[in-house]
Amino acid sequence: MEYKDYYKILGVDRKASDDDIRKVYRKLAKQYHPDYNPNDKQAEERFKEINEAYEVLSDSKKRSHYDRLGSDYSQWQRRGAPGNFNWDQYGGGFPGGARVNMDDLNDAFGFSDFFNSIFGMGGRPARPQAQGYQQEFEVTLEEAYKGTTRRIQTEGREKIVRIPAGVRTGSKVRVAGAGPNGLDLYLIVHVREDQRFERQGNDLHTSATVDIFTAILGGEAEVETMEGKVKLNIPAGTQPEQVFRLAGRGMTHLKDHKQKGDLFVKVKALVPKYLSPKQRELLDEASRIKF
């Protein structure tokens, strides 16, 4: 059986901190996620490798077990690799592990024979809880706002899981009986960052740019919301970095989908680099008038 170097797969040092591993994983998972690489088998396999590596290195018990294996495997190689490496001593004895036959679940999460061998599991045993197992997955901010679905394979059948609107990173979605031995599977949500908005609880923060004349005289600014673009009234004398609140334009509340947070818009005033002679004349005249 081929040894998998999970540190090399993620591109991190063996002494990397949990935070470093998490940051690298999120970057790679986004890069190779099937949603960004449709019908790309190589990206799909890379995505599975990355998830498997993170499953081990993000769990202190699994990482310790894996590090012990890596040390022994390296010594075995340095001795000239006589005979076959004894993989059996690392399988089946991992804390919380139990051999189960869950080929469909394993296909869905893509764990290798190497993983199954050293942790003694035939499917995703990720982070066992008292009532079930956990599996991380990603949604976009828009999916978190509107709600979405995910397809998983369990017991030879495809199961569609509804992800409710309002979920945030760390939210858990329970799928009854979809884990090993009929236990529940908990899907742990990670909401991807969105270039347009910063999320704070159920509120969203964004910015809008207006020219200096609109800031001085008043007018309108076009603002992106989760439901499309809207016009924001800019009163005369608006100051740079001034913030306006659009009530009910934020994220959907998880426990009450009729409620939404607010959208806060920071106005940025754009100073023109070039002025026409007439504009310069009028501004020069205005500058000499005392307030």
Q: What is the pLDDT of residues 131-147, one digit of tens each?
A: 456 778 889 999 999 99
Asked whether residue 13 carries a pLDDT value surpassing 70, the answer given is: yes
Report how far residue 60's alpha carbon sits from residue 46's, in angstroms, rounded to the nearest whole number.
23
Phi-psi region of 135 (alpha: psi -120 to 50; beta: other; left: phi over 0): beta
* Chain mean pLDDT for the chain: 80
Please answer whether residues 173 and 163 qualify as being in contact, where contact means their C-beta atoms are separated by less than 8 angstroms. yes
Minimal CA–CA distance to 94: which of 139, 133, 126, 71? 126
Q: Average pLDDT, stretch 231-256?
A: 94
Q: Average pLDDT, stretch 218-234?
A: 95
Pairing of strands 203-211, 263-270: parallel
In percent, the amount of the chain with pLDDT more than 70 equals: 76
Looking at 92-106, 192-206, 271-285, which range is the least confident one?
92-106
Asked whether residue 105 carries a pLDDT value surpassing 60, the answer given is: no
The whole-model pTM stands at 0.55
Q: Average pLDDT, stretch 80-94?
A: 52
List of domains in the chain: 6-191 (1.10.287.110), 198-287 (2.60.260.20)
Residues pairing with 189 in the sheet: 137
Q: What pLDDT shows up at residue 95?
A: 43
Asked whether residue 169 carries a pLDDT value surpassing 80, the answer given is: yes
Report how far residue 107's alpha carbon sits from residue 111's, in angstroms, rounded to the nearest whole number.
7
Sign of CA dihedral 93, 94, 97, 103: negative
Residues pairing with 231 in the sheet: 222
Q: What pLDDT shows up at residue 284?
A: 85
Q: pLDDT confidence of 75, banded at 50, 70, 90?
A: low
Exposure string of 225-241, with b = 16+ CB inside 10 Å and e = fewer, is bbeeeeebebeeebeee
**Distances in Å between the alpha carbon of 201 and those of 145, 148, 169?**
12, 19, 10
Q: What pLDDT shows up at residue 287?
A: 81
Q: pLDDT confidence of 88, banded at 50, 70, 90?
A: low
